[in-house]
Amino acid sequence: MGAVQDSGVGPRLNSRIEKFRDLSPADRLTAVGDAARLAQADRDALRGGVLPLDLANGMIENVVGTFEIPLGVATNFTINGRDYLIPMAVEEPSVVAAASYMARIARGCGGFETSSTAPIMRAQVQILGLSDPHGARARLLSARDQIIAAANEKDQVLIGLGGGCREIEVQVFEDTAVGPMVVLHLLVDVRDAMGANTVNTMAEAVAPMIERISGGTVRLRILSNLADLRLARARVRLTPKALATKEFTGERMAAGIVEACSLAIVDPYRAATHNKGIMNGIDPVVVATGNDWRAIEAGAHAWAARSGRYTSLSRWEIDAAGNLMGTLEMPMALGMVGGATKTHPAARAALKLLGVTSAQELAEVTVAVGLAQNMAALRALATEGIQRGHMALHARNIAIVAGASGADIDTVARELAADHDVRVDRAREILLRLGKEKA
């Protein structure tokens, strides 16, 4: 069992909302708002258009406006025996539908199980100008307690919350373009923060002491986005019966998914796309909750290449009983305090919709969504291909591009998908015909 706890928000919500996709956006918002018992202000925030210009102006520089992308909610997720509604901010069609569909299949098999490490982030302090790098390393390691104490002096709030600098590591790079180099790592438990500010402040604070002890010159003082001590894991076990479709047996489906994953394990060209499919699930949750998706992307891909060869983030196997077993373990440096997670009204509301009570729980849920998304892509790729499902949903976009609005969007999209001819000029023809029929 991972870090998931009861949020204490009353009766647990049911993430299975019948015919959710057939509702209007307003009715969907009511359905998820009621399920998660959201206050009106949070429902309004999820509806969008809620980032005031003065707030946006305070968040970044040279602000001229705000930029919106769709916010969907993936249904059906059961994680560690508890249901979750998943907010996903994303521009790509079929992502939210695929996550919900896979979560539904997984739900019938007991859902996802997750776990995670403590939220340990790493700051790096680069030390140059040393003629005895190994001696400097030894001096720094001897001063471990002193360095940790100095780092912890900087953040009493974090210490009060049970976090703080826990350990140091010191590495020697004998041969770099600028001579020998020593790099000291501060390993910091950042609790519910993403942690960048916390560890950067600590790294800067200990720098003078590091110079005194090592005898070198400190240059870089910055966190590492390869958050390999802050891992979240998800797993799912699917029976052949749950995987079977009208066209494919569950055994065929499971074997196809394992074969697809096998290519991603050995071939970086496929691994990049395979992992992109995983990030299709992860990034939208990261964005919706106001977190730093560039940090998550950087950590994910560096982790995927940690052996020296870029590979699949997930693994799919057949267990001894013939079930399909999927696992995903990866860095997940997400926060729930500070930054846009607190300032952006929609991010705050998204966190309430999720009902998570710790950054670790958020990380675990997010990785489960990534695994669901990966399964959706592999399931389609291993059987009918992704274009059939994808084009049916993409057709809505094309209908809008062609000028359709209101109920015409679905009418045009249905016709495009049925004809397997999803093109803007074809959509215009259909619209013209519909116009004439109405006239």
Q: Which residues are catalytic?
A: 92, 276, 292, 390
Among 133, 277, 299, 370, binds ligand MEV (CB under 6 A): 277
Question: Which part of the chain contacts ligand MEV (CB under 6 A), choosing from 39-47, 130-138, 139-147, 268-276?
Answer: 268-276
Per rule CB under 6 A, is residue 312 in the interface with ligand MEV?
no
Question: Which part of the chain contacts ligand MEV (CB under 6 A), choosing from 30-38, 45-53, 192-200, 269-277?
Answer: 269-277
Among 16, 37, 166, 276, binds ligand MEV (CB under 6 A): 276
Of the pair 149, 272, the CB lying nearest ligand MEV is at: 272
Question: Which part of the chain contacts ligand MEV (CB under 6 A), choosing from 189-197, 274-282, 302-310, 428-436?
Answer: 274-282
**8 Å CB contact between 250 and 241:** yes
Of the pair 198, 275, the CB lying nearest ligand MEV is at: 275
Give me the residue label for tokens 């959509």: 427
Of the pair 350, 381, the CB lying nearest ligand MEV is at: 381
Question: Which part of the chain contacts ligand MEV (CB under 6 A), choosing from 214-222, 237-245, 276-284, 401-409?
Answer: 276-284
Per rule CB under 6 A, is residue 201 in the interface with ligand MEV?
no
Binding residues among 232-261 for ligand MEV as defined by CB under 6 A: none
- CB of 144: closest distance to ligand MEV in angstroms? 44
Q: What count of other Cβ atoms lies within 10 Å of the Cβ of residue 409?
A: 18
* Order of strands across the sheet that contains 314-318: 82-89, 71-79, 112-116, 231-238, 324-331, 314-318
CA 87, 91, 94, 99 dihedral sign is: negative
Of the pair 257, 404, the CB lying nearest ligand MEV is at: 257
Contacts of 221 (CB under 8 A, 6+ apart): 123, 124, 125, 126, 200, 203, 204, 207
In order of 73, 154, 349, the CA distances from 39 in angstroms are 17, 37, 9
Per rule CB under 6 A, is residue 265 in the interface with ligand MEV?
no
What is the rounded distance in angstroms from the CA atom of residue 365 to the CA atom of residue 370?
9
Of the pair 191, 394, the CB lying nearest ligand MEV is at: 394
Taking residues 59 to 98 in sequence order and writing x for each that binds ligand MEV by CB under 6 A, - otherwise, the string is ---------------------------------x------
Per rule CB under 6 A, is residue 393 in the interface with ligand MEV?
no
Per rule CB under 6 A, is residue 311 in the interface with ligand MEV?
no
Q: What is the DSSP string of 48-70?
A: S----HHHHHHHSSS--------
Q: Which residue is nearest to ligand MEV (CB)?
A: 277
Of the pair 274, 396, the CB lying nearest ligand MEV is at: 274
Among 273, 327, 358, 397, binds ligand MEV (CB under 6 A): 273
Question: Which part of the chain contacts ligand MEV (CB under 6 A), choosing from 102-110, 115-123, 273-281, 402-410?
Answer: 273-281
- CB of 423: closest distance to ligand MEV in angstroms? 20
What is the rounded distance in angstroms from the CA atom of residue 24 to the CA atom of residue 390?
21
Among 78, 280, 314, 323, binds ligand MEV (CB under 6 A): 280
Per rule CB under 6 A, is residue 315 in the interface with ligand MEV?
no
Region of 97 (left: φ > 0; alpha: ψ -120 to 50; beta: rest) is alpha
Q: Report residue 435 as tokens.
A: 């116009």
Per rule CB under 6 A, is residue 221 in the interface with ligand MEV?
no
What is the rounded distance in angstroms from the CA atom of residue 362 to the CA atom of residue 232?
9
Q: What count of other Cβ atoms lies within 10 Å of the Cβ of residue 162?
A: 9
User: b/e string for 118-146 if b means 16 or more Cβ within 10 A?
Assistant: bbbbbbbbbbbbbeebeebbebbeebeee
- CB of 427: closest distance to ligand MEV in angstroms? 22
- Residues 213, 223, 168, CA angle at the centre, nearest 5°? 40
Q: At what angle do helices 387-401 and 359-381 cross, to 10 degrees?
A: 100
Burial of 159 (0-12, 13-18, 19+ CB in 10 A): middle
Residues in contact with ligand MEV by CB under 6 A are 92, 273-274, 276-277, 280, 377, 381, 386
